[in-house]
Structure 1
Amino acid sequence: MPVIVFLTLFFLACLPLLVLRKKTRRPPHEKPLPPGSLGFPLVGQSFGLLRAMRSNTGEQWLRRRSNKYGPISKLSLFGRNTVFLAGPGAHKFVFTSDALALQQPKSATAIIGSRSLLEMIGEEHRRVRGALMQFLKPEVLRRYVGMIDHEVQRHLQMNWLGKTNINVHPLTKGLTFDLICSLVLGLERGKIREALVQDFAEMLSGVWAVPIDLPFTKFGKSLRARRRAAQLISGIVRQKKTLLEQRKCSPDQDLITCLLGLGGDGNSEPLTEEEIVDNTVLIMFAGHDTSSTLLTFIIRHLANDPTNYDLVLRENEDIAKAKAPSEALTWDDVNKMKHTWRLAMEVLRTIPPVFGNFRRALKDIEYEGYIIPKGWQVLWASSTTQMDENIFKSPENFDPSRFENPSCIPPYSFVAFGGGTRICPGNEFARIETLVMMHYVVTRFKWRLSCKDNGFARIPLPTPTDGLPIDLEPKN
């Protein structure tokens, strides 16, 4: 009897979901839904994907799905009906279609902000992206190589020199945050920067938390930290606006002064203070985690690849020998680090910081003979092309020479930085900070891994076990 009562109650609880699911079925005259199963209501395939991510077998999980259903299939993830798309054509569709909007967890939207680039589509997205690109384009960033060089050398002096054992991942996070504070905010070291560091760390912890805003929840604490950080950034924005009006600072001094200077010529609409704050927070999030992850896994790889280590070392030693003592790197120096960047690209191909992401269908969409209903999620994953043997020969092998001629790589196949109108606007900044950091690491230190477990898990970015501890030895 208790079993019958339980099953009856369970059926009644699930009935609204079953009715809702029935409503999503298409009329017989329309295109069919993609193949696949939505699984059990609410749960769907969520636990299977999360387990695979934690055990670093997410690529295999998706590959089995593609082998079973093809490059387009339906499933249910995190309580939402979802369509999974695979292949270069799918990536092109995802990155260029105005019928899709980024689907973020509610917690991420609340903490990053509703007026960030991630939340915008169409003309609004193009306007704000264009504003960010005014500062992040190569011809502007080349002027900041010296500042990045100074921050990197200071970081190594304080955190690496004189140490015999360090944990790489938390240290690279500290470096990338310092670079963002200097380049994006133009913020000197002091009480405001220290407060922002603390608030930012608390904000990060709530991005993927359950969105329950109570004083004792992780999300609630993260929201309060976000409000404090937004007040600090707003204060910086207003201060720089006053300095610009008084002509006491340059419009290209940092990202905020650049954004404040837009619209003054009457040819473009100026950004609001909310848009500047939200997109500053977005750049801080994006530039902090992804760049620190890339640096960590380059160091991890070079510890066990003597051939590529020697090539990277020789390339950077040649650059160092041509410099005067204490002379900073220049834009031309960075552009000579060709093998170093090819190696970084191969790390991004094999261990992309962003495994994939979700979009949301803004209307019913016909794709490859199937219908993607309005409101459904669309999932893309970088591994469907970057680890495809039909695109990259022997994809499991680590081979930086793949990137000697990028034009040979089919469009929308290497998507570590996204693609189309959704390509990461900060990819050039990431290239510069990665190359400057690796130049000084390989020319000043030797290292070996000291961790018992050399693995990593995705939570959701790839995170090495114990932060990647290494034994460190300075060079003479």
Structure 2
Amino acid sequence: MNTIITVFLFLIPIFLLLTRRKRSSEKLPPGSLGLPVIGQSLSLLRAMRANTAEEWLRERIRKYGPISKMSLFGKPAVFIYGQAANKFVFQSDSSTIVNQQVKSIRAILGDRCILELIGEDHKRVRDALVSFLKPESLKEYVGKMDEEVRMHLEMHWHGKQQVKVLPLMKTLTFNIICTLLFGLERGPRREILVDDFQCMIEGMWSIPLNLPFTRYSRSLKASARAQKILQGLINEKRLALQQKKTASPRQDLISCMLSIYNDKNEQVISDKEIIHNVMLVMVAGYDTSSVLLTFLVRLLANDPAIYAAVLQEQELIAKSKANGEFLTWEDLAKMKYTWKVAMETLRLFPPIFGGFRKAVKDIEYDGYLIPKDWNIFWVTGMTQMDDTIFPEPSKFDPTRFENPASIPPYCFIPFGGGPRICPGYEFARIETLVSIHYLVTRFTWKLLCSDNFFCRDPMPVPTKGLPAQISPRKLL
């Protein structure tokens, strides 16, 4: 009898464990995790490069519904879709989900950037970034932005008959960031750094196998080289700040972050945090802004009526300026239609395809279980092309943004939302408006590639880098 009781007591926890596992398994979203490590990564990346990634995901939605499980970049994930999914991602606090990226992004950008930090650490570092990037601070940098754009056009556009738009826009945004945000002078270090950042970006969405022939491996090496250069730059700026006569805390983002001290006279942001967040800002500003500007050029070339309206707005501002006078914050406030065109461009061609969060505990969502430590994968652009939200979603129509309140919340979120909204939003707006002002008032252009195809690698890349024939406009 004692033996039977002992066996029975031994079997109870096993039975409960199996029952719990079965119950949890039944609550998992539909779908498959695929092959170990690889999962659906290669399939998604192929679809992105063929510009069929949205259809790839719609097929999943048709098959499994708005929530399904998969495996991406070496980790199980739950794909969620729709307005409710976007709201869940941006409204949940760190007790439910955290903003942890996949291993490839985390390893390349670093684990102390604001994409990875949570709680007080996130607030501390974000506040430091915002102190420099907030509108009140950026007002004084419009003139420097203006100067950079004019210099770029003089060097790379004037006197040319043909250009490749995307590479030149990347050159422009990189130089703007180096000058305004990091105070890095033109020269060999800039040239090395731009190559390293391009290599880093290529491996950010990749299977994290550190083998010599992989993009991931090349990106890790490029990241290490970039971090070494940035540490040297930090050392130089710290020395300049200590000498005081040669530097100001407000002259660039790195100097600003180095100048933040607490009550104990301790540096609030560590060197490692500065490096990792500088790399994040560099990647975001370099690639996403250049993509927006490139597709703006393409869309204006393909739509004469929209182009004429933008030109009219910008010529009125140009006529109000004395010869050689820089644009001002007040001038940017008058570019309302141009910014609507930019927002519609972001809706149709979002630079960032999707994002990741990590569940910090088992989560019940839409009747299914998202297990602890699984990634949550969502694609913001899916709602932007939903015809129940944006009628005729493929049509380029800037009037959609005449009344932003008419757009349902969490359906158009090109800069994120909630406490993690992109701190560089205003910087991107200034950069875009200043660049477009000088492009449309000083040049006309005609595209030399008739197809409208682009691939994602992982950012949108138009065919052949968008070659265009350009002609100078007569200055007013």
Q: One fold, TM greater than 0.5?
A: yes
Contact 1:176 1:288 in 2 (8 A): yes
* Alignment match, 2:380: 382
Q: How does 1:65-80 map to 2 (within 5 A)?
A: 65-80=60-75
Q: Does 1:319 align with 2:314?
A: no
Deviates more, 1:136-145 or 1:83-92: 83-92
The answer (yes or no) to whether the contact 2:356–2:375 under 8 Å persists in 1 is: yes
Report matched runs for 1:311-350 at 5 Å: 311-350=309-348
Whether the aligned pair in 2 keeps the contact of 1:34 and 1:83 (CA below 8 Å) is no
Q: Which runs of 5+ in 2 are unaligned?
A: 1-16
Q: Which 10-residue stretch deviates more, 118-127 or 237-246? A: 237-246
Counterpart of 1:138? Answer: 135
> What is the aligned partner in structure 2 of residue 242 from structure 1?
239
CA contact (8 A) 1:448 1:472 kept: yes
For each residue in 1:395-414, what CA deviation from the matched residue of structure 2 results, as whole angstroms up to 9, or x when unmatched? 22211111112122222111
The alignment's C-alpha RMSD in Å is 2.4
- The 2-side partners of 1:385 and 1:222 are apart by 31
2:305 aligned residue = 307
Q: Which of 407, 410, 413 is residue 411 of structure 2 equivalent to?
A: 413
Q: Secondary structure at the match of 1:118?
A: coil
Does the 8 Å contact 2:202/2:457 carry over to 1? no
* Deviation, structure 1 residue 31: 9.1
2:44 corresponds, among 35, 49, 71, to 49
Q: How far apart, CA to CA, are the structure 1 residues paired with 2:434 and 2:146?
A: 6
Shift in CA distance, 281/331, structure 1 to aligned 2, threshold 3 Å: same
**4+ long deviations beyond 6 Å:** none
Aligned CA distance change for structure 1 residues 394 and 177 (closer, same or farther; 3 Å): same
- For the residue of structure 2 that corresponds to 1:446, the secondary structure is strand
List aligned pairs for 1:126-205, cutoff 5 A.
Answer: 126-205=123-202
Count of matched residue positions in the alignment of Structure 1 and Structure 2 = 454
> SS of the counterpart of 2:31?
coil
TM-score, normalised with respect to structure 1: 0.89
Residue 209 of structure 1 and its aligned partner are, at CA, apart by 5.0
Paired residue for 1:19?
Answer: none
Alpha-carbon distance between aligned partners in 1 of 2:221 and 2:57, rounded to the nearest angstrom: 37
Which residue is 1:15 aligned to?
none
* Counterpart-to-counterpart distance in 2, 1:222 and 1:45: 21
How many Å apart are 1:438 and its aligned residue?
Answer: 0.4
Task: Name the aligned partner's letter for residue 362 of structure 1.
Answer: V
Q: What's 1:436 paired with?
A: 434
Stretch of structure 1 that moved more, 280-289 or 34-43: 34-43
Tell me the equivalent position of 1:125: 122
Give the Cα–Cα distance (whole angstroms) in 2 for the partners of residues 218 and 65 of structure 1.
27
Contact 1:41 1:79 (C-alpha < 8 Å) held by counterparts:
no
Q: CA deviation at 1:174?
A: 0.6
Query: Are the counterparts in 1 of residues 259 and 267 from structure 2 also a CA contact under 8 Å?
Result: no
Deviation by residue 1:333-365 (Cα, 9 ceiling, x = unmatched): 111111111001001011100111222212211
Task: Name the CA distance, whole Å, in 1 between partners of 2:355 and 2:384.
Answer: 15
Structure 2-normalised TM-score?
0.89
* Conserved? CA contact 2:343–2:401, under 8 Å: yes
What is the letter of the counterpart of residue 389 of structure 2? I
Change (3 A) 1:406 1:25: farther
Gaps of 5+ in 1: 1-22
Indicate the residue corresponding to 1:93 in structure 2.
Answer: 88
Query: Which amino acid in the other structure matches residue 442 of structure 2?
Result: R
**Conserved? CA contact 2:110–2:276, under 8 Å:** yes
Residues in 2 aligned to 1:167 and 1:224: alpha-carbon distance in whole angstroms: 28
Deviates more, 1:182-191 or 1:421-430: 182-191
In structure 1, distance between residues paired with 2:163 and 2:100: 37
Deviations 1:420-471 (A, max 9, x none): 1221111111111011000000011111110143310111111101000011
Percent of aligned pairs with the same residue?
55
- Give the match for residue 3 of structure 1: none
What is the CA distance between 1:260 and its match in structure 2? Answer: 1.3
